[in-house]
Amino acid sequence: MKRNVSVLLGTVMLSLVLLQTPQTVQGDRLQPKGYRETVEKLQKFYVQFEDKVSREFRRWKEDGTMSQHFRQLIHASAINKNERAQEIRELPTAREGPLCTICRGFGGSVLEFRREGASREEVFNTTVELCTMLNLQEESICRGLIELNIDTILYIVDNRPDLTSASLCAVVFQSGACVLDDPSFTEWEVDVDPNGTPVTASKTGTAQRGPNDLKIVQITDLHFDPNYRTGYNAECGAPACCRESQGVPDDAEAGAGHWGDYRNCDTPWNAVEDLIDRVAEEHSDADIVYHTGDIIDHGIWETSIGYNVRSINRVIGKLRDTFPETPVYNILGNHEAHPTNVYELGEVSRPDFSTNWLYHLSADLWSHWLPRAADQTIRLGGYY
């Protein structure tokens, strides 16, 4: 489960409401002194910036050409190329405000543009241009991402007339600097034991295994990339590198490793296979295997249903061959869906948005290890 800035921003434009996965960010990171005050000041700044961008954006659409001032605004907002592939939660806190500003400013203008009647094609062309100029990704990736997500995003925007750029960006970024105060998102509660002990440090040591304890192996986030090629460019600046289409770099140092690569690359098949074989060998006494999803790679600008089906079949097939007798309990990750992150739970009656292909595929593939009763809910929403 990985979320990168460019992707986020690419969406900024509208695209990303659904590209990202909700996750708590505030709770697990320290905030610098005066953070709250800074964020309060930022709120006013966002509104001013949004107005400024909006004026220039309108002029652009009326005149057909970008003013020098608008170009400067875009240029000043453009993200650093090395931020493209980074996960948003790993960026320095100091970047949260600027990124939210860009989202509010440009995302807000595109939102208005649509509300005032812009067609799909107009929104598409405009967001591709902004995505590219803001350096969120290179043009082909901007195009792919926006093409895959635009219909879902437009559907949401069109059906939620009260959705604001503030809520949109807050949901996308999940950062403290992008405040979410829309009650339709914030009115929910979790009961937490007030007498519980807070976790303040990493666990030390390993608990002794008792005679009634189960041994469970968890496999997660395999992110198998069928396009991975040894020696191909591991420093490509896209959300996933080391892929066949990205070519062999001039500098051999930038070439992808045989078993994978610690740079921005996903997992080659030989590593997936080896990992699963090693689990079976080293943990032949495991009672249960949990496989918690994210089989699909980060080529989020060019997934398709057929592509995802092939990767899922291959990985679950390998698990079935390796663990025919040990129960393997699978769940879905945010990357199994096409487009990435976009799950439909039977509330939207648009066949082109349906995730049923994935629920039915999962029900068929997981059934090897599950009681028949689980089938019904998996076909309904991918859970059991």
Ligand X SMILES: *[C@@H]1O[C@H](CO)[C@@H](O)[C@H](O)[C@H]1NC(C)=O
Work out how close the CB of 132 gets to ligand X at its nearest, in angstroms, rounded to a whole number.
12
Q: Least distance (Å) from ligand X to the CB of residue 61? A: 10
Smallest gap from Cβ 129 to ligand X, in A, equals 9
Residue 118 CB, nearest approach to ligand X (Å): 9
Q: Which residues pair with 289 in a beta bridge?
A: 217, 328
Choose between 122 and 321: whose C-beta lies nearer to ligand X. 122
Burial class (CB in 10 A: 0-12, 13-18, 19+), 78: middle
**Nearest to ligand X of 143, 229 (CB atom):** 143
| CB half-sphere exposure, 358, CA atoms < 13 A | 33
User: Would you state the structure tokens that stand for residue 189, as one six-digit string?
Assistant: 């509660």
Binding flag, residue 125, ligand X (CB under 6 A): yes
Task: Report the nearest approach of ligand X to the CB of residue 250 (Å).
Answer: 32
One DSSP character per residue, 227-246 reads TB-TTSBS--SSSSBSBGGG
* Part in contact with ligand X (CB under 6 A); list of ranges 118-126, 179-187, 279-287, 375-383: 118-126
By CB under 6 A, tell whether 270 contacts ligand X: no
C-alpha–C-alpha distance, residues 358 and 316, integer Å:
13
Between 18 and 128, name the residue whose CB sits nearer to ligand X. 128
Run of H or E including 328: strand 328-330
Which range in 63-71, 121-129, 143-151, 320-328 contacts ligand X by CB under 6 A? 121-129
Task: Give the strands of the sheet with 328-330, arranged side by side.
Answer: 216-219, 288-291, 328-330
Q: Which is nearer to ligand X, 112 or 364 (CB)?
A: 112
Q: Does position 122 bind ligand X by CB under 6 A? A: yes
Among the candidate windows 59-67, 82-90, 119-127, 170-178, which touches ligand X by CB under 6 A? 119-127
What does the buried/exposed string (b/e) look like for 198-234 if buried means 16 or more CB atoms within 10 Å of the residue's CB? eeeeeeeeeeeeeeeeeeebebeebbbbbbbbeebbb
User: Where do the H-state alpha helices sit in the chain?
Assistant: 5-12, 35-63, 68-77, 96-102, 108-115, 120-133, 139-159, 165-173, 183-186, 269-282, 305-322, 356-366, 375-381
Shortest separation between residue 60's beta carbon and ligand X, angstroms = 12
Site string for ligand X, 66-105 (x = CB under 6 A): ----------------------------------------
Give the C-alpha separation, 84 to 95, whole Å: 13
Residue nearest to ligand X (CB): 125
- Nearest approach, Cβ of 125 to ligand X (angstroms)? 4
Residue 164 interacts with ligand X (CB under 6 A)?
Answer: no
Residue 291's DSSP bridge partners are 219, 330
Minimal distance, residue 122 CB to ligand X, in Å: 5
Q: Select from 4, 17, 13, 80 the least CA-distant residue to 343.
A: 17
Query: In which residue are the tokens 């939102």 written?
Result: 111
In the complex with ligand X, which residue's Cβ is closer, 116 or 121? 121
116 is a contact residue toward ligand X (CB under 6 A):
no
Interaction between residue 121 and ligand X (CB under 6 A): yes
| Smallest gap from residue 248 Cβ to ligand X (A) | 31
CA distance 226 to 240: 12
Q: How far is the CB of 128 from ligand X (least distance, A)?
A: 8
Tell me whether residue 139 or residue 244 sits nearer to ligand X (CB atom): 139
Residue of 316, 255, 314, 271 whose CA lies nearest to 291:
316
Which of 122, 277 has the CB closer to ligand X? 122
Report residue 45 as tokens: 């700044």
Specify the residue, 125 or 164, whose C-beta has the smaller distance to ligand X.
125
Cβ atoms of 7 and 145 within 8 Å: the answer is: yes
187 binds ligand X (CB under 6 A): no
Q: Are residues 375 and 367 in contact, defined by beta-carbon separation less than 8 angstroms?
A: yes
Size of the site for ligand X (CB under 6 A): 3
Question: Interface with ligand X by CB under 6 A: which range of 117-125, 164-172, 215-223, 373-381?
Answer: 117-125
List of residues contacting ligand X (CB under 6 A): 121-122, 125
